[in-house]
Amino acid sequence: TAFLHGSLKENVYMAQPPGFIDQDHPTHICHLKKSLYGLKQAPRAWYEKLQSALFSMGFQASHSDHSLFVLHQPTLVLVLVYVDDM
């Protein structure tokens, strides 16, 4: 469910899914505004949203590991992100 809340920077379009086809406009396509599970842009959109939130709280990204965020105020706080997309 983590990937369902990411905003997309690119324009992404998809065919109407089976069972949800608009009978008045069966050849129309859908313009996605949020990422969908299984969409190849979804992990990047989710990561960018998480990264933005952590940066707004004062965290800094590690130079050696993109999944590690560090905050040094007043004590050391480490956030290591792991997502198992199963």
Q: pLDDT tens digits for 26-69?
A: 999 988 776 666 566 667 777 888 899 999 999 999 999 989 99
pLDDT category at 86 given cuts 50, 70, 90 is: very low
pLDDT category at 76 given cuts 50, 70, 90 is: very high
Verdict on whether the full-model pTM lies above 0.85: no
Q: What's the whole-number mean pLDDT along residues 5-16?
A: 75
Per DSSP, the residues of 22-81 read: -TT-TT-EEEEEE--TT-TTHHHHHHHHHHHHHHHTT-EE-SS-TTEEEE-SSS-EEEE-
Domain boundaries of the chain, sorted by first residue: 2-80
